[in-house]
């Protein structure tokens, strides 16, 4: 304790040592590891306890599925190439859905009559089963890359429209009144008030649309057989041939692919929205 010019200064307490990066990583990965272990345990139980020996080819144990597939380059090579094609379809479809969805929502947010006219079309597009549109898409666009992208856009579009519109309309009335008092233009109101208020909702829609674009790419690959096959096309072939090891490996790859895409946009969401809005890390 020291005194400076008659004032008593108390030394600040030392900061508690931060947890190591390794312990933090272990804490965060423990639920994932536990869920994976539980899944594998259920898989083994179903294979060896529920299925008779003569039916175990329907669900081979994990070590046979992944051990045989990962050690077979003739199987994994085409599968990874197909996954890359599916990624390209999903990425292009997502970009189109994001651009068109945000633009569509901006138009509706600026004029109430535009929302009344345009929003029902977005709802109709969302409610029509995609399998009912697949034949028409194939007839109109062919059965190659453009048709698969169109399926992605149709599936991923509505979350971008709905979430963006909600975000653009979420600014408070008091904030709008302040912009009105300052004689802000429509463009200033949109860029400096509505878009900043809509950022969290836009990223929510982006996360959902990213996952749905992967589903759309796989659905398009599954039904459109022209051109180089995507992972959905391989799923169809493996199903028809009852190649269970290859089928389960392909399903696992598609699941991991979807998880990676969702995680990337979730991390981006946390980085951008957390920085803008001061979200507390948990």
Indicate the length of the chain as a whole number: 282
Please provide the average confidence, as pLDDT, over all residues in the chain: 82
Instruction: Give the single-character DSSP code of 172.
Output: -
How far apart (Å, rounded) are the C-alpha atoms in residues 70 and 231?
Answer: 16
What is the homologous superfamily of the domain 72-275 according to CATH? MetI-like (1.10.3720.10)
Cβ 248 vs Cβ 64: under 8 Å: no
Q: Is 242 helix (H, G, I), strand (E, B) or coil?
A: coil
Q: For 46-61, how does the pLDDT look when each residue is reduced to its tens digit (9 = 90+)? A: 888 888 888 888 888 8
Q: Is 57 helix (H, G, I), strand (E, B) or coil?
A: helix
pLDDT averaged over consecutive 10-residue blocks of the chain (282 residues)?
A: 51 52 69 81 85 82 81 84 90 94 92 89 86 84 87 92 91 85 86 88 90 88 80 86 86 87 83 63 44
How far apart (Å, rounded) are the C-alpha atoms in residues 268 and 236?
Answer: 33
How far apart (Å, rounded) are the C-alpha atoms in residues 230 and 234?
Answer: 7
Cβ 230 vs Cβ 216: under 8 Å: no
Q: How far is CA 281 from the centre of its chain?
A: 21
pTM: 0.80
Q: Domain residue spans in the chain? A: 29-59, 72-275
CA quadruple 50, 55, 59, 63: dihedral sign: positive
């Amino acid at each position: 304790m020291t005194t400076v010019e008659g004032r008593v200064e108390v030394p600040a307490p030392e900061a508690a040592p931060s947890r190591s990066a390794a312990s933090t990583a272990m804490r965060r990965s423990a639920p994932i590891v536990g869920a994976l272990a539980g899944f594998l345990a259920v898989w083994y139980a179903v294979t060896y306890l529920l299925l008779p020996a003569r039916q175990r080819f329907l669900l081979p144990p994990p070590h046979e599925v992944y051990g045989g597939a990962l050690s077979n380059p003739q199987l994994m090579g085409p599968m990874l190439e197909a996954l890359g094609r599916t990624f390209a379809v999903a990425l292009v479809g997502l970009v189109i859905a994001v651009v068109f969805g945000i633009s569509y929502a901006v138009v509706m947010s600026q004029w109430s009559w535009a929302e009344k006219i345009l929003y029902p079309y977005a709802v109709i597009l969302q409610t029509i089963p995609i399998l009912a549109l697949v034949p028409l898409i194939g007839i109109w666009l062919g059965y190659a890359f453009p048709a698969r992208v169109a399926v992605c856009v149709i599936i991923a579009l509505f979350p971008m429209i709905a979430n963006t519109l909600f975000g653009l309309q979420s600014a408070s009335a008091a904030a709008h009144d302040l912009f009105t008092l300052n004689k802000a233009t429509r463009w200033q109101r949109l860029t400096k008030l509505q878009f900043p208020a809509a950022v969290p909702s836009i990223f929510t829609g982006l996360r959902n649309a990213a996952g749905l674009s992967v589903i759309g790419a796989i659905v398009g690959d599954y039904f459109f057989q022209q051109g180089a096959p995507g992972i959905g096309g391989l799923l169809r072939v493996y199903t028809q041939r009852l190649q269970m090891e290859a089928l389960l490996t392909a399903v696992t790859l598609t699941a991991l692919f979807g998880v990676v895409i969702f995680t990337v946009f979730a991390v981006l969401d946390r980085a951008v929205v957390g920085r803008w809005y001061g979200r507390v890390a948990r």
